[in-house]
Each structure stands twice: as C-alpha cells, then as structure tokens.
Chain A
Amino acid sequence: MKKRIFVSLLLIITLFWPFSSLWAITINDKLPDVHGFLEFDYGYKLKNDTTKKNEYNMLEQRLQLKTRYYPKRFLADWNSEIFFRGDFVLDEYFGGETAFDLREFYTQFSPATSVDVKLGRQIFTWGTGDYLFINDVFPKDYVSFFAGRDDEYLKVPSDGLRISFYNDIANADVVVIPTFQPNIIPKGDRLSFFDSFQGGIAGRNSERRLVEPPKQLNNTEYALRLHRTVSNYETALYYFYGFYEMPRGYLNEANRELFYPALNVYGASLRGPILEGIGNIEIGYYDSRNNRKGNDRLIQNSSFKLLTGYEKDMGNDFRIGVQYLYEQTLDYRNYKEALLTQDFRWDERRHLVTLRLTKLLWNQTLHLGFFTFYSPSDEDTYLRPTISYDVNDHLTTTLGANLIWGKDEITEFGQMERNSNIYFRMRYNF
C-alpha cells in the first residue's frame, strides 16, 4: 500500500514536473484555503476470533487535509483546478503505525466547452445502488466498511483519467485506469474472514496470497458510461473492461494463491420519480473472460445481476429506502460438473434485500440511521445502526454498530460475523 502510494506520487510528480514552473504559486497569489478534519475512531469487538486483537478492531486517529487551487497560468484558459485531499493516520491497532493515505490528488480542466478532463488520483463512482454495486466496478474498501469507518472510506481512489463529453444526444464518461487497484478486503489481521485454504474462518493464520495483474500497459482498465436525462429520468449504459475487484480465481492452490480474473461488464440503469418517491433499476452482465464456458472450477463463472430500489420521504425528516439484489451464476451446470468432491459449492442464485431508515431530529443535528442487509438465500444478516449528533458546527460524534449473523461461515456476511463491533467516532471539522 505504502509502496503503491509512493509510486503514484512519483508518477504524478513526474507527469506534472514539466508544468511545475507554470503553476507555481507566486507571492502575489492568495494562498488556497485548507480544510479538513481531525478524527478519533474506536471499535469495540463483540466476538473473539484469531485476528491480532480481541478487545477492539479499530483504534485510530486521522487528520485529513484538503485544498483546492485554481492556477492562474497552468491551463488557466481551460478553467483548470488542482485538488488535494489526504489523510495522515495514526493506527493504534497496528502498534501506533503511521501512514499517509492520499485520497485524491488530481487536476481538472476543460479543453473544450463540452469536455471535462480529470487526471490523477481520484474516486470513481456511478450506478444507482445504495451500498450495492453492479456497474460501479471501481475499488471499494470493505475493511473500512465492516470496521465502521465513515462512509467516505468505502471508496478506494484510483490513479487514472476521466474524460467526460457532454452533448444533447448522450453524455459520455471514459475512464482509464492504468494501474489496477483491487478492493481492500479482510486478510485476517484486523478482520477475520472465510479462507477456503484454511477451510474455515481465518485470522492471522491465513496464509493466502492475492496476486494482482502485473503493472503493464496492456492491463489497463477501461470503463465507459453513456448517460442522458430524459424528462427527469436518468438513463445510463455501462461498459467495463478490466479485472474482478475481488480475487475470484485460484492461481495456484498449492501455493495458496488467488488472482483477479479478467472481467467485462455490460450494464444499464434507470432512475427517476415513481409512486411519490425515487425508484431505480440496474442490470449488469458480468462476462468472466478467463472462464467463458463456466467449466473451470478455479475461476468465477459469468453472472447476471439485477438491482432495484425505492426511496420515499415519509415527512418529518423520516426516509425509507428498500432494495432488492438478484445475482445468478451463469453456466451453472458446467460449474457443478467441474467441481471436485471436496470443493465448496456456491448456490446458483443469491437474493439480497436491504432496508434503510433515516430520521433527523433536533433541527437535523441528531441523525438516526439504520441499514440492514438480509439475504434469504445465504441466510445471513448485517445490521448497521448509527446515531450521530452534531455538537456544534465543527464537532460531530457518532455511535454505531456492525452486527452480523450468518447460518454458514462461507456466505458474504456470514463469514464476517466474528467482526461484529460497536464503534465510536468523534470528528472535528475545520
């Protein structure tokens, strides 16, 4: 991780070096404002496992700084801006380890009236789901999610380029990510998970290795979105060419190596007002390029996904949102026939429903939130209750929990059961 950050910093500096004299801040310029927050996080563990610590799974402080600068010379005719947002983290969980997490560092400009370019480290998001993703194939941090960090840490930044074209027929976003960034997932030190090599829930005993595609130009990922708002309905088509963000393939079973198989995604979405609320529907076809016939037991099969949701304002600052996700493994017969007797067998179909309740009180300074995942097919549940209070304009305190149950150890949420925690967060914004 640290090496990666270093490499990308180096890359960005190298890219911008030729221009540096053009956008260097001169004495006469007003220095850009710096904002951010100082935060304390503590997550008390409710169950024991074999991770590094049994008492807590989060104890950290972070300082986030962000600033935006509008250069007077560097591409100034193109309305350029430079944005920086980075976290300095002091992580007591790992014995006071310090880290710098560069969240965003990009330049943005408009070379033509209908074209926007965003280059550098940035966060990519699209699609219509709420904590559920089909066409948003950009990296996520599920360690942060299950540990109870703020929602903004669910997304992992990528180093890349986004070019957006706007016109009356359809707007287009082209995303290019030359350096693959996978999801951040539990590896046993902070959060336990189901490790197939261990045949059960693993903590520090996990020895599996996740092998990323080599950093080569031909491993560049591409994503495309065509979107258009028709009346007040947002329609979009998606295409992705890259790799699974999760290690969905076995590279070498004896060496306990997993890899990120090649993936194409084709999808579509629609979002707009319906029945006095907002409805959305999104579909996606995951084309597992390394296992198109579905008869390779070591690599995830292609699949079809459908997501639909509805959100309604009930009045008095109370909102309800529901979602349904359907996932179907394709060529399931081939998959079944290819399995060996000792292999785990995944279900062909997965159903997942979610419920979100939000209530604001006391002039919207007290936020009550409740999010639930429940899968009737996996028979697992994940509750995320939160209560947060804005003490004043700067200070916010949050108390929340990640409560997880599952009938089996191998399901998506079931494997996370032992990571259940109650967390406390205090953030001072400036």
Chain B
Amino acid sequence: MIGKSIFTSSEECLISYRLKQYQGFLMGFIVVLLLSFFNVGAVNAENLTVQEIVEKANNVAYYEGQDGTAEVNMAITDSQGRKRVREFTILRKDVADGGEQKFYIYFYKPEDVRDMVYMVWKHTTKEDDRWLYLPALDLVRRIAASDKRSSFVGSHFVYEDVSGRGINEDTHELVGEENNCYKIKNVPKNKKNINFDYYYIWIRKDNFIPIKTEYYDSHGKKYRIIEGLKVENIQGYPTIIEMKAEDLNSGGNTVITYKKIKYNIGLTDDIFTERYLRRPPAQWIKR
C-alpha cells in the first residue's frame, strides 16, 4: 500500500513537471504566435486594400460575436422638435460572418406596437425575408420589403443602417486619412431605389469602427449624417453604444442608445422561427 502510494506520488510529480515544461513551451509558442500575428497585422494595416478595410468595418459593425442581444432606445426628434420614443430588444444571430444573419425584434414602445415582433432573415444574394407578428390577432404576417432605404420604425435610420448594406453593392475608394480614420468614398453600383449619389465613411484605424457616414445627393449636397457618439469595449468587442442619424433636409434626427449589450449568448436557430414569433422567449425579452 505504502509503496504504491509513494510510486503514485512520484509519478504525479513527474507528470506535473512534464506538464509545466509543456505549458511553458506552449505559452512561449502562443506568445510568439500572437506577437507574429500582431506583427503581421501591424505590417498589413499599412497596406490594407480598401476592400479589406470595408470588410473589417462591416464585420465590426454588424457581425461581432456569433450572436448578440441589446436593449435599444430610439429617440426620434422631428423638424419641429417633437419627440417620439421606440424601445425594443434585438436578438441577432450570424449564419456566416459577413453573410446571412437573423434578427428578432420585440417591441415595448410605443404602446400601440407593444408585444409585436419583427423578424428578419437577412440575405446577401436575394431579398431579405421579413415577418411581423401581431399578437392581438395572433397573426403572423409576411412582409414584402424590397426597399431597404425606407425608414426603420419611423426613425431617421433606414433598414440598411440597422442590418447593414451589402458591401458589394458599392464601389469603394480610399480618398484619405483623417483623425486616425480611413476616409472612404462609396458609390452605389446600381442607383435604382437609392436616394443618394455617393457617401463618405470614416473608419477608425485602431478598431475598424465605422464612426461616421455622410450621404450626398445628386447635386453634391450633403443631406444625411450618421455618427457614432459613444464607443465602448464590450466583452472585448469595440461597440458603438450611442449613434445619431441626422436628416439635414428636414432637420430631424434620431439617437439610438444600446443597453444591456451581450455577445455570444448562445442563441439557437429556433428563436428565429414562427414558434418564437407566436411565443416570445421570456428569457430574452422579459424586463
């Protein structure tokens, strides 16, 4: 018994020593690997193509983590200073980074749309699928929606601002660098159903957050600005937590504030089906 015990303990020692050796080696390897990655990253950052910058920004703005949730407050101010508020919880799951996504939006305010659910399956090569659930009628409506430039719930944001504009829909040109940002000019390839001629986007060099966008009409007049007002690091992901859309023609603006942001919460695919339209998942929507 005693002998066995001694033997065992010495074996343990040996194993743990080997492990430590191995760990040391592993850590060293990881550090080197990370350093080399950063190094490579740093070298490449100087030589990134426009396409790479735009792709990174698109991923940072719309595809952080595998999924995520946030409580959203939208304060809409019209040209006469009248305020309206929309509040909803948004759930997002990426099917593929930079590709298809699913969104689930549950409304709290205004009161007339309370408990309504809006669901989007975002596609990159075909029209998005959209559904609306009207609880008072127990009705699941399918929504025809080809116009991504129409207002999102009456705000100064359009659908594309919320779910992202396909990066292949524009040509991109790096026109300069300002305030540690890349300034990129974007011209739509197809001007059908589009109310702007081109837009500039400022992408931060340090974290690739698209911090500001300015839209110009066909007369070269700036008429719409979207700007990130606050950026925070959430679970290691740089995230815009407050942003503003301004309509320079009408004078109104909308400020979006994101609260209770969480990434990688393990949303399952079935959340984005008729089942949860009819029965909103209490775990995510209960306040």
A contacts, CB < 8 Å to B: 35, 37, 68, 70, 79, 81, 85, 103, 108, 116, 118, 122-125, 151-152, 154-155, 164, 166, 171, 227, 229, 232, 234, 271-273, 276-278, 280, 311-317, 319, 321, 360, 363-365, 390, 392-394, 396, 427, 429-430
Quick check: A276 and B275 within 8 Å, CB to CB?
Answer: no
Interface core residue of B84, B144, B155 (most chain A CB under 10 Å): B144
| Given A79-B282, A232-B121, CB of A271 within 8 Å of CB of B142 | yes
* A152: chain B residues within 8 A (beta carbon): 134, 136-137
Query: 7 additional contacts, CB 8 Å, given A280-B142, A315-B149?
Result: A125-B139, A166-B275, A171-B274, A276-B146, A392-B82, A429-B111, A430-B111
Interface core residue of A81, A164, A227, A232 (most chain B CB under 10 Å): A232
Quick check: A393 and B84 within 8 Å, CB to CB?
Answer: yes
CA gap between A145 and B160 in the complex, in Å: 36
Quick check: A125 and B275 within 8 Å, CB to CB?
Answer: no
A-B contact pairs, 14 of them (CB 8 A): A37-B111, A116-B279, A232-B129, A278-B143, A311-B144, A313-B145, A317-B150, A363-B154, A363-B156, A365-B84, A390-B84, A390-B110, A393-B85, A394-B110
Return the chain A residue nearest B151 by Cβ.
A364
B234-273 contact mask (Cβ, 8 Å, vs A): 1 or 0 = 0000000000000000001000000000000000001001
- The yes or no answer to B4 lying at the interface (CB within 8 A) is no
CA gap between A316 and B144 in the complex, in Å: 13
Return the chain A residue nearest B111 by Cβ.
A429
CA gap between A352 and B130 in the complex, in Å: 27
* A166: chain B residues within 8 A (beta carbon): 270, 273, 275
- The yes or no answer to B189 lying at the interface (CB within 8 A) is no
Enumerate the 9 nearest inter-chain pairs by beta-carbon distance, A residue then B residue, closest first: A429-B111, A364-B154, A152-B136, A125-B138, A393-B110, A315-B147, A123-B138, A278-B144, A311-B144
Q: Does more than half of chain A's interface fall in helix, strand or loop, or is it mixed?
A: strand
* A277: chain B residues within 8 A (beta carbon): 144, 146
Quick check: A234 and B142 within 8 Å, CB to CB?
Answer: yes
- The yes or no answer to B227 lying at the interface (CB within 8 A) is no
* A319: chain B residues within 8 A (beta carbon): 144
* B126: chain A residues within 8 A (beta carbon): 273
| Closest chain B CB from A284 CB (angstroms) | 18
| Given A123-B138, A273-B126, CB of A316 within 8 Å of CB of B147 | yes
CA gap between A323 and B153 in the complex, in Å: 27
- The yes or no answer to B232 lying at the interface (CB within 8 A) is no
- The yes or no answer to B205 lying at the interface (CB within 8 A) is no
| Closest chain A CB from B65 CB (angstroms) | 24
Return the chain A residue nearest B79 by Cβ.
A363
| Closest chain B CB from A129 CB (angstroms) | 11
- The yes or no answer to B56 lying at the interface (CB within 8 A) is no
- The yes or no answer to B53 lying at the interface (CB within 8 A) is no
Q: Which of B28-81 contact A (CB under 8 A)?
A: 76, 78
* B137: chain A residues within 8 A (beta carbon): 123, 125, 151-152, 154-155
Quick check: B150 and A316 within 8 Å, CB to CB?
Answer: yes
| Given A79-B282, A123-B138, A278-B144, CB of A392 within 8 Å of CB of B84 | yes
